Structure 1
């Protein structure tokens, strides 16, 4: 049986990590730097090259990689499949060119400095990959993941994760020194690995598409929230492990799981459950990278490592910025994207040891390359911060319109939803030259809204963080113009609770939802077809010979009668107010003016239906 001392032995390293995080990160945030840098420096301090409070950083990294896994899961949750399809050009085109050109340039530079062809290839590929965790963390801190350059950067990172299986299969091929038949065997092995990976992905997609929602629905019915949390972790980590077993990255598996659940009814609950684990484990990952930096080796080779770090970052920034520009980004956005992709990736710590095992990279070169990769992850956030400051000053000059940072928006009107209703509303607002921010989670609607010259934000309006970042706290009016009645009422509740100064103008679907909106004290509500039907009726009356004034009076009278009935229906009776669902079910279309004659059917079947309806009403 474990003793108290055995349990207590786990506490010192845990307390060390927690202390390093709560001391290091706030200091660097106060200095205006990224939290990533705080974690990395904290890792250097507590690691073997610093105070030696943690002597085995490899153990910490094996656990902390789960932070990257959970980060990719949350990114997948926030990215709909339609959005992923719209990124296919950037994933396949931009991603391929970035990895190929950067690997060629960095590997070629290594070959010119004396590395063997095999070592130059491995190191070039390892440094060409980007740090998914660093890049996404920087984009999240800036709230730029939904921006055009953020989406392009994410597409590159996604392609890199997809390419890992191919890279790992490629390394043994270039290490093969036997007869030519050996190369064919390796090709067969690579094709078999690729086939296994594709089959696993298809299996995960099928299970996720048809099994996850019923699974979570069953668990939700139990009412045990901790079981939902356990199920979320089971899905994420199980998918990640499966992908790792077939040669893909764990992060890729987690992203796939998140993507499959992106449209689930349980999406927001899953994100809330995973977020605390993601934040702590991701911080641990950054600290483990800091601990892997061998300061003795760095001091002995400081000049060479400094020049190599500077050269690697500048080469990647130049190439990536040029590629972003080629794919439609502005130069400023290209530089922003290049800055977050400049640090070497987590997979450098996988590829370089594999290269050493295969004999492609010798021991000294491998250790220096690992140190170089870690230093780029340390320097990268600083460079990105400096570049941001320079570009911010540059962006003040009206030489080239750039992507506007949504957090700084002070639009008077926030429009949620750019469908057929929101489109017409924005025509009116545009005619008066009002400052407007539009948010929508449909890619095609975002493209349409961009033509209006408004600030456009890709996101789900039912999310509080999306409302905050899109400027709801500064908007005078929040116009809710989405189709989903349930989501509409959820947004109303969020705005009233978090942004009480903003007025809520709501487009509702029908009479039932209008009464629900009135019960929530919205400032204005209108049924999507009500006014258009009144206008249609007015035109019909005029076509039948009524004067325009008489037709208008009739329509106004109907409008007033309808409003009065809405108020009465909202009040209901005491029995109905005790059961809102019962009250809403009883709301049926009723004439606002007494009919001149009783209805009658034109055939026996219709008469039978009318008779049964009258009997039900009398009963």
Structure 2
């Protein structure tokens, strides 16, 4: 018990110290876990051989991770990825295996050993790549989806690779390397094989057609259980009102599926991914995610620590040139193959670097395959030990390659030729909408529904192309440039709607438009109060806070659910709305740009007074509504070059 507590303290303490430091330095959590393992293992010697055994347990974090990824992927999305799975993933394994095998033969390895090395090193690290892609929010990019397709194909390919390995065996009785680094004889290997395919195998001793039927039956059972069994189970657990039962059921589903896959000789990670896809449309998907996520994070972190702790720095010190040269050569070789495939499958820009550098390392399956090849006598002891260290080094370099990818993507963006803006803008309407994201799209659709036309302008080419595919006229250009606004018809427009989510750009456009057209009616989207004040001073006529109206509606619903009538809740909403508009006008006069509001005493004092007035107004809801000077009054703006003609104004949103 004392030994277990000591080891747990070491692993958890190393993670708690190293990972936040790495995250604050921008290196990512994976590199922090790996560094923690190197420190507590080879450097300080606080953990020993148990790290190898613990790694097999921690690999279950990969299983949990693939289950969670499956929950995010509906079957239709997976079907859309079929070309990448079969084409991109299959080509990556085949070409990388051939390239690595050719390199191994050039270094003097026989053909069976070279093929075994190629198959083992063609695999990439599912744990590191998917964890880093998720941290950086890259899973939904083209490069992220392509990388995931290759990783899923590799996971599927592990099963036939393990079946192929015995065919490469030299059939001798040379000493063989066990997974923990010790030496096994042939007799010991036979005993291990008997244990691996004993009573806990459903396909042991079956003919080929029998294995196929049992395997398909297991897959079908997972699908049917996910469709017909899981929801009744969740409703049954829900009736107990015990929160821990949800966690127990989630773990039961994952562990049970993984165990069933091992009984038929399939990868447990592949099986749980399939289970996740089946449950992607389930009403309990979010519950499963919240229950599994903590276990996934801890087990993956433990796995990365064991990888670092298992590195043989003594071997690296004895042969630094050879080991480092092999690691660098492997990364470079895989990167060249991946870059060629990225070009073949038309990945461009940042997606190409995500795919190329993200998969250029070896992976955790390499540990399993190299150890298995050593057990079979395909690889000698020295070669196996060196290869295991090379795999660990490339995995250690993976987070650094993601940092290099970020640097290359920024450099490419800075030096890439800018897309030429649309010069011939067909301005059919008298309304210009700048920004066509989720805010601007709603504005444009309502204008179109009213039978009017708007000129849509945005600096995001992908959004413009998407709008065009749906039949809307949209134009590409930087709206902060005066000539682009002029080309969009600023001189003839009556209304300018600024729906950008970039506060600085929105203020700049308001200033440009107001200077060019003092009579133009400008409606601007604001992020918060400070942005409201800045837009007001720049000259906007109507300012709409992006979440203000929806927040008021949510508050009204909450009040109605607490027993207020619809009329009472509506009156409170109207009173709050009017008071807030009045407060904004007063606070706009006290707002000082570049000074935080909490450090502006006059602003803070007046805000507190207005809050008390709001409480009074809301408590008196049964009386006449709060009277303001006029709903459209606004504080005076700084003088402009040319005063606009008088007209009714709305004001601050």
What is the TM-score with the length of structure 1 in the denominator?
0.66
Q: What residue in structure 2 maps to residue 519 of structure 1?
A: 557
Contact persistence 1:414–1:436 (CA under 8 A): no
CA 1:411 to 1:42, structure 2 compared with 1: closer, same or farther past 3 Å? farther
Partner of 1:244: 262
Partner of 2:398: 380
Q: Please, which of 120, 123, 140 is the counterpart of residue 114 of structure 2?
A: 120
Show structure 2 runs of 5+ residues with no match. Answer: 173-203, 420-433, 477-499, 507-526, 529-543, 560-564, 572-653
| Partner Cα distance (1:127, 1:92) in 2 | 19
Question: Contact 1:169–1:190 (CA<8 Å) still a contact in 2?
Answer: no
Aligned residues: 460
- Following the alignment from structure 1 to structure 2, what is the Cα–Cα distance between the partners of residues 321 and 427? 49
Distance 2:472 2:107 in 1: 48
Say whether residues 1:28 and 2:22 are aligned partners.
Answer: yes
| 1:146-165 mapped onto 2 (5 Å cutoff) | 146-165=140-159
Alignment of 1:399-478 (within 5 A): 399=417, 413-414=437-438, 431-433=455-457
Secondary structure in 2 aligned to 1:264? coil
State the alpha-carbon separation in 2 of the partners of residues 428 and 505 from structure 1. Answer: 24
The DSSP-based 3-state class of the residue aligned with 2:438 is strand
Corresponding residue of 1:145: 139
Name 1:46's counterpart in structure 2: 40
Change (3 A) 1:215 1:119: same
Pick one of 65, 69, 76 that aligns with 2:63. 69
Give SS of 1:153's match: helix
Matched residue, 1:342: 360
Summarize the Cα distance change of 1:192–1:40 in structure 2 as closer, same or farther, 3 Å threshold.
farther
- Per-residue displacement from partner, 1:513-551 (whole Å, max 9, x unpaired)? x99896369xxxxxxxxxxxxxxxxxxxxxxxxxxxxxx
Offset at 1:244?
2.3
Change (3 A) 1:505 1:472: farther
User: Structure 2 CA distance, aligned partners of 1:447 and 1:74?
Assistant: 32
Helix, strand or coil for the counterpart of 1:431?
A: strand
How far the C-alpha of 1:139 sits from its partner, in A, is 0.6
Q: Could you say if the C-alpha distance between residues 411 and 115 of structure 1 is closer, same or farther in structure 2, counting changes exceeding 3 Å?
A: farther
Identify if the C-alpha distance between structure 1 residues 423 and 250 changes in structure 2 by more than 3 Å, giving closer, same or farther.
farther
Q: Secondary structure at the match of 1:316?
A: helix
Among candidates 225, 229, 235, match of residue 253 of structure 2: 235
Inter-CA distance 84–311: structure 2 relative to 1 (3 Å threshold):
same
Residue 502 (1) aligns with residue 502 (2): no
1:57-78 deviations in Å (ceiling 9; x for gaps): 1222122112111111111111
How many Å separate the matches in 2 of 1:66 and 1:449?
Answer: 48
Specify the alignment match of 2:5 in structure 1: 11
* Alpha-carbon distance between aligned partners in 1 of 2:501 and 2:123, rounded to the nearest angstrom: 37
Question: Pairwise CA RMSD of aligned residues?
Answer: 4.1
The answer as to whether partners of 2:170 and 2:377 remain within 8 angstroms in 1 is no
Q: Which residue matches 1:111?
A: 105
- 1:399 Cα deviation after fit: 2.5
Structure with more of its chain in helix, by fraction: 1
Partner of residue 462, structure 1: none
Q: Give the deviation of 1:217 after TM superposition.
A: 2.2
Q: Say which SS state the counterpart of residue 145 (structure 1) adopts.
A: coil
* SS of residue matched to 1:361: coil
Aligned residues of 1:172 and 1:358 also touching (Cα < 8 A)? yes
| 3-state SS of paired residue (2:415) | coil
Q: Deviations over 1:308-358 (max 9, x none)?
A: 111111111111122122112115421221111111111111111111122
Q: CA, structure 1 residues 229+451, in 2 after alignment: closer, same or farther (shift >3 Å)?
A: farther
Would you say the 8 A contact 1:95–1:155 is kept in 2? yes
- Any residues of structure 2 matched to 1:140-219 within 5 Å, and which? 140-175=134-169, 193-219=211-237
Match of 1:538 in 2: none
Taking the aligned partners of 1:107 and 1:428, their CA distance within structure 2 comes to 65
Distance 1:304 1:426 in 2: 72
Question: Residues 9 and 170 (structure 1 numbering): CA distance in 2 closer, same or farther, change over 3 Å?
Answer: same
User: Once the 2 structures are TM-superposed, how far is the Cα of residue 188 of structure 1 from its aligned partner?
Assistant: 9.0
Report what 1:292 is aligned to: 310
Whether the 8 Å contact between 1:411 and 1:475 is mirrored in structure 2 is no
Contact 1:414 1:438 survives alignment (8 Å): no
Q: Give the whole-Å Cα distance in 1 for the aligned partners of 2:364 and 2:557.
A: 52
Partner residue, 1:598: none
1:367 deviation in Å? 1.0
| Change over 3 Å in CA distance of 1:382–1:264 after alignment to 2 | same
Distance of aligned partners of 1:202 and 1:395 in 2 relative to their CA distance in 1, 3 Å threshold: same
Residue aligning to 2:239: 221
TM, length-normalised to structure 2: 0.63
| 5+ long unaligned stretches in structure 1 | 1-5, 179-185, 402-409, 455-470, 478-494, 507-513, 522-565, 573-619
